[in-house]
A and B are shown apart, each in its own frame.
Chain A
């Protein structure tokens, strides 16, 4: 097996070399060839939709030939982009998880888009003004634009309306506060002796999702999770996060209405579809999946608050890696602007379930019709009014994992929230130390 893999690599290299020899003849005359790296973070149909989109672009733009390259998950896309940059052949554009931008900018891996915006004769304010304000925090770093929002999400509360009615609850008046949610979860939990046959609520916790849910709960408890202005600080050991984690733990240990342990996102959505969990917190990105598979009436609602209504955004932005040649940069910029235009943005939103970041997309006739047919898609957009940026720090992933590992211990009953958060803070401070040594602690 090893040998065959090696052989295939060899063949791939040989193929690339042959390609390199064959292509110079074409360069200069033909269209500018560019690659677009794209991930598929949810179910498989996205790859086909992307193919359709790029085909349309190539047909309407004869001077550019774009190729869509599928690069796996968000994390895989970061790895492959970094590998391509290191090899000196960066792709011209990448759909990158919105919270990786800061980390990439700190590593000097991003093209500053300010000059391209200026060359178009628009100002930064006008350009950013097209998008929902909540999305700008993850696209702008040090007052320069580094990313263009492409598809985005927020967390939602999904409710099994049939089960709610059975329990004597009114699904048209979903829980607004943590107190109400706890009450609903108690009423929706079914027991046979000690055994639970139906859980009141389930919240996912696997690497990536766990950090996002902790940010959701912390924000609705008044907290911030991280310093939005500076990549060297996170606020793990704080009252707002302690309250959030304690409540989550109480749902498991005290009220016994939430399944114990850390449960990944797909397990949570399956649990909801099968009727095993009556309420779940999940991304907007799962809405199409739930709509297609639920055999019962469901309802989506805002994430309930304890202190205030606030949620983080999720999703991805289009970026350009650093070190591109001028003609490729120009071609990629054309592609990026085309993909984020109201029409295309709306089309992609309807195909995937993400919401369209371009506000004008919701004024297009197709979108108005779609929302009339699927009013549940509106909730995510309405929640954007209270949405805030997604945590992004120096070394975002390890810093997030520092917290997630401790949260998982709490959800499994192995640690108390207070000591877990103190440990998470200590670990994160250690991970952030090199960056602080260069910035906040570098004194004259």
Chain B
């Protein structure tokens, strides 16, 4: 509200403000009607396939059957507390945290390294960039099938080559201590090239004149990296980190293909836990409750990161 408006208010009659507001609303609506009409098609699909599904999850999370033949009844927050009390869910959350940190940090570090090494464009670098980007183009399911053979105990590619060096060959996907890390290797291999693209784009935005000035002032490569390049890349870091964490929760194709959450739940991630509850246990209530919890965590995370980003845009 501007400061001029309160002065105008006393002049109006008692019935007018309401009419005024309504008229203004109608006016505004009329003005933006074409925009709404243009948005309508995607709104319909969003409502059908995203908001509708979310609403259904919300409702399903509140109902449960006590026994197989009993009718579904309203249980309120019981499903959510059952999920929170389930050691398998806690295990999946812990696994997912290890997985998120263990894939985000190395893949971002590698991506930055690649981007710094290949920032200048010439034929060799273009070829190398293409090679590093290649894993991104392979669908996760196909990549998992490939790695299934690489990790094959005794006869797989990995054991074939490093088998001569190790006294005892590890069962990469069959040992609960190793399986999660084996899965993480695939994610890092697949995502580093993708994040490299963002860093390459970010590096283009580093002002040339500042770099030249630093060069003239005698700043070495490390000083330039530490004090110019990295601060300039801060928004890119933030963005890539959010993407990496979202990926860690939403991309579990390789778990489906390679381990099914096993051995002994060692590679069970949150999304796979939800799948197990709904499909294997046929427990829609618990699956919906776990979905809600995950959704809440992801939305909180996204909101936080957007706020941080907005602060940066506005602030110094």
Contacts and interface: CB of A to CB of B under 8 A. Distances in A.
Interface stretch (B74-82, B170-178, B225-233): B170-178
Interface in A268-285: 270-271, 274, 276
B279 A395 contact: no
Given A75-B279, A412-B176, A405 B265 contact: yes
Interface string A87-121: 00000000000000000001110000000000000
A239 interface: no
B264 A395 contact: no
Interface string A1-22: 0000011011001000000000
Interface string B62-100: 000011111000000000000000000000000000000
Nearest to A9: B49
B168 A194 contact: yes
Contact of A207 (B50, B70, B260): B260
Of B48, B50, B152, the most chain A CB neighbours within 10 A belong to B152
Nearest to B163: A195
Contact of B68 (A75, A207, A397, A435): A435
Given A75-B279, A261-B171, A408-B264, A107 B68 contact: yes
B106 interface: no
B154 interface: yes
Contact of A267 (B153, B262, B279): B153
Interface string B255-279: 0000011111100000000001001
Interface residue range, chain A: 35 or more
B312 interface: no
B51 interface: no
B68 A106 contact: yes
A255 interface: no
Given A75-B279, A263-B153, A6 B45 contact: yes
A224 to B, nearest CB: 23
B168 A408 contact: no
Interface in B132-185: 148, 152-155, 167-169, 171, 173-177
A438 B68 contact: yes
A409 interface: yes
Contacts, number: 109
A411 to B, nearest CB: 8
A397 B282 CA distance: 10
A394 B280 CA distance: 11
Contacts of B279: 75, 78-79
A260 interface: yes
Interface string A49-88: 0000000000000000000000000010011001000000
Given A10-B49, A206-B262, A207-B262, A262 B171 contact: yes
Contacts of B45: 6-7, 10
15 contacts: A6-B50, A75-B280, A194-B167, A205-B174, A260-B171, A262-B262, A267-B155, A270-B152, A398-B280, A405-B264, A408-B262, A408-B263, A412-B171, A412-B174, A434-B68
Given A395-B282, A438-B67, 18 more contacts: A7-B45, A13-B48, A78-B279, A194-B167, A194-B168, A205-B174, A205-B263, A207-B260, A260-B171, A260-B175, A261-B175, A262-B262, A271-B152, A274-B155, A404-B262, A409-B263, A411-B174, A435-B67
The list of the 3 closest CB pairs from A to B, nearest first, reads A261-B171, A261-B174, A408-B263
